[in-house]
Amino acid sequence: MAKISKPGERPRKVVESPDAKGLAKKAKGEKIDIDEEDPLAEIKSLQKEEISTEAIPVSELKKAKYEKQIPGEFDFDAFDSKGFGEGYSKDKRAEMEQMYSGTVTSVNSGEVVKGVVVGINDRDVILNIGFKSDGLVPLAEFKEMTNLKIGDAVDLFIEEREDAMGQLVLSRRKAKLVKGWEYVQTALDKDEVIEGFVKRRTKGGLIVDVFGIEAFLPGSQIDVKPIRDFDIYVNKSIEVKVVKINYTNDNVVVSHKVLIEKDLEQQKAVILTNLEKGQVLEGVIKNMTNFGVFIDLGGVDGLLHITDISWGRINHPEEVLKLDQTVKVVVLDFDGDKKRISLGMKQLTPHPWDALPTEIQVGSKVKGKIVNVADYGAFLELQPGVEGLIHVSEMSWSQHLRNPQDFMKVGDEVEAVVLTLDRDERKMSLGIKQLTEDPWTRQDVLSKYAVGTKHKGIVRNLTNFGLFIELEEGIDGLVHVSDLSWTKKIKHPSEFVKVGETMEVQVLELDASNRRLALSHKHMEENPWDTFETIFTIGSVHKCTIISKNDKGAVLELPYGIEGFCAAKNLAKEDNSKTEVGESLDFKVLEFSKDDRRIVLSHKAIWSAEEEKPVAGGVAKKKPAPAKGNTIQSINQQSEKSTLGDLEALSALKEKMSGGSGDAKAE
């Protein structure tokens, strides 16, 4: 075995140094080259020699670190007390660090790094990121890169530097997400326009892929006008701007409308600057309402009122227009700030009144369609834009005005007569009753409705003074409230009849020139007061029922359904009790007037012997003497108050009885 010794010293045995990494490498079977520049080269060479088990001081071994070694010898003075591998000069260390840094990259988990494709197979893509080992990424994560080839550089996300199998775990998908969020944030900060791909439709909007992130595009942010079909944007690219980011919910909101608004602002400024009345513009119908449509003029909205759509009458704009339809309109008016623009479309065509045939004159017959029915009449359209009013009074010869809907409805084809015509004012009044003969001018009116003739009619109207009955179309008559009944006093016709009921009447008076007809219902029967005059004679007694009472007296119901009156003082009963409504008592007739149909009665006169005072309107008569039986009954009632022991009272009673008998005999 060869021995290495320093000149002048005795040979020493080499022992294994725990700090010698070379020995560990030899144990692994690795080859070690001897280099004169390497301070450990001498130690490495010893590994080829047989190592003695004799111990050598470590301090002597370290001296060889800085001494130039002679081949075959070991420099023990090259070592110092700084430790293994720390004796390099600054220049040497910098040179070695530069060489090392160029071969191996230091990476950390969770970072995004650049990788180079070094291999592709059926399942994975092999990538080199400059680390001590390469990584594998599933080929499915590169499906959008159809032309992937070796040498392409891609972004990769380091999930793990080394897993349980010692492999470097990379992800292309996560790298895209991390980079995507960075790009999205940058786009928001710098207000940049980015391009996205509409993947699908969702509730209230669209899902747009921007930088691999699914962003939400609300329906209200797609366009400045309402979008009714979102499907037309699916699977198409669209330019958007990021308007909101919520990292908590991983939510990104984008807008396409803001891009359009900027362009529209420029167009709007141009339109408003050159806006004038009478200017013809082209626009797109943006929205429809029952009163008109809103038209987009290229950044400025204008209102086209329903009355300015067509010269003819329409009930809703959708009858002639459609959404998203391009139309030409004329500017009718706009306010000072030019924010509200009134538009017209019918003004672009000639007015129909200008083309109205000259043959149409007052008195001529015309045909048309009913386009509107109001409370006061109906409008007949002769041609689109030309209408005439048929007033309700011109629909029938009847004096009683009715609802126009009783005669016609919208859509009816009607023939009418022109009553008035003003081409300058573009107004026309029409009538339909003129198509038939005026019933008051017929020759048979005087004979048909002569005084005393009887007819049937329908009650059309009630008033305080009477009611109107329609005997036929155009022939109305008045029945006064006093001519409804012979026996009852009617304050209002509603107490006797209702509107729409049929009533029999007799003609009392006829005035054909003034179209007046006086009628009576009570004259359908004979006047019962001629008979009542013989029944309800003054002084006669009848059973009556109290109908109502007040401070002045009571209204009584007499036989045969007639009514009479009793003053309050004549309602007194014999037992001083009060009379009540509904109570039936005997009453004596005090007064009867056939002309006034008035009967005055009294209940007090039945039991009281007091002479009644003459009644106004009646004949003053002396009341008849009381009957004998009544006088005796009165005396008996008074005698019950006396006692047999009262002789004076008994004597007076005898004198009265004898006096009463004498009177009775005298009669």
- 574 within 8 A of 562, measured Cβ to Cβ: no
- State the distance between the two ends of the chain, measured CA to CA, in whole angstroms: 199
Which pairing describes strands 516-520 and 475-480: parallel, antiparallel, or unpaired?
Answer: parallel
Tell me which residue has tokens 């009163």: 291
Q: Determine the 3-state secondary structure of 204 from DSSP.
A: coil
Write the burial class of residue 116 (CB in 10 Å: 0-12 exposed, 13-18 middle, 19+ buried). Answer: middle
Q: What burial letters (b/e) apply to 537-552, b meaning 16+ CB within 10 Å?
A: eeeeebebebeebeee
Rounded to an integer, the average pLDDT of 545-550 is 90
The C-alpha angle 50, 52, 54, rounded to 5 degrees, equals: 170
- Mean pLDDT over each residue of the chain, to the nearest integer: 75
User: Is pLDDT of 356 > 50?
Assistant: yes
What confidence category does residue 587 fall into, taking pLDDT thresholds of 50, 70 and 90? Answer: very high
Best CA proximity match to 62, nearest among 86, 83, 34: 83
Per-residue pLDDT of 293-348, as tens digits, reads 998 887 778 889 998 888 887 888 888 888 888 899 998 888 756 568 889 998 88
- What tokens appear for 86 in the block? 């720390």
Determine the Cα–Cα distance for residues 295 and 285; give it in Å rounded to an integer. 4
Which pLDDT score is estimated for 179?
A: 78
Which pLDDT score is estimated for 429?
A: 92
Average the pLDDT over each of 24-33, 173-182, 548-557, 585-594 and give the range with the smallest value: 24-33
- 388 within 8 A of 429, measured Cβ to Cβ: yes
Average the pLDDT over each of 242-256, 360-374, 644-658 and give the range with the smallest value: 644-658
Which pLDDT score is estimated for 419?
A: 92
Which pLDDT score is estimated for 30?
A: 46
- 382 within 8 A of 357, measured Cβ to Cβ: no
Best CA proximity match to 302, nearest among 274, 333, 276, 326: 333
Give, in order, the Cα–Cα distances in Å from 178 to each of 182, 188, 276, 596: 6, 16, 54, 112
Which pLDDT score is estimated for 220?
A: 83
Determine the Cα–Cα distance for residues 481 and 490; give it in Å rounded to an integer. 7
Rounded to an integer, the average pLDDT of 262-270 is 72
Specify the higher pLDDT residue, 521 or 24. Answer: 521
Q: What burial letters (b/e) apply to 138-157, b meaning 16+ CB within 10 Å?
A: ebebbeeeeeeeeeeebebb
User: Is pLDDT of 611 > 50?
Assistant: no
Which pLDDT score is estimated for 622?
A: 39
- What tokens appear for 448 in the block? 């048909």
Specify the higher pLDDT residue, 421 or 91. Answer: 421
- 258 within 8 A of 240, measured Cβ to Cβ: no
User: Is pLDDT of 287 > 50?
Assistant: yes
Per-residue pLDDT of 507-517, as tens digits, reads 988 888 888 88
Per-residue pLDDT of 66-85, as tens digits, reads 454 455 555 555 544 455 55
Q: Residues in the chain, how many?
A: 667
Question: What does DSSP assign to residue 14?
Answer: -
Specify the higher pLDDT residue, 540 or 40. Answer: 540
User: Is pLDDT of 519 > 60?
Assistant: yes
Look up residue 248 and give its amino acid: T
Per-residue pLDDT of 424-472, as tens digits, reads 888 899 998 888 888 888 878 888 888 889 899 989 888 888 999 888 8
User: Is pLDDT of 62 > 80?
Assistant: no
**DSSP count for the chain of H helices, then E strands:** 11, 30
Specify the higher pLDDT residue, 97 or 285. Answer: 285
Question: What does DSSP assign to residue 133?
Answer: S
Question: What does DSSP assign to residue 63?
Answer: B
Tell me which residue has tokens 């009447």: 505
Question: What does DSSP assign to residue 317?
Answer: G
What confidence category does residue 416 fall into, taking pLDDT thresholds of 50, 70 and 90? Answer: very high
Which pLDDT score is estimated for 417?
A: 92
- 515 within 8 A of 499, measured Cβ to Cβ: no
- 433 within 8 A of 396, measured Cβ to Cβ: yes
Which pLDDT score is estimated for 566?
A: 93
User: Is pLDDT of 395 > 80?
Assistant: yes
Specify the higher pLDDT residue, 650 or 183. Answer: 183
Look up residue 239 and give its amino acid: E
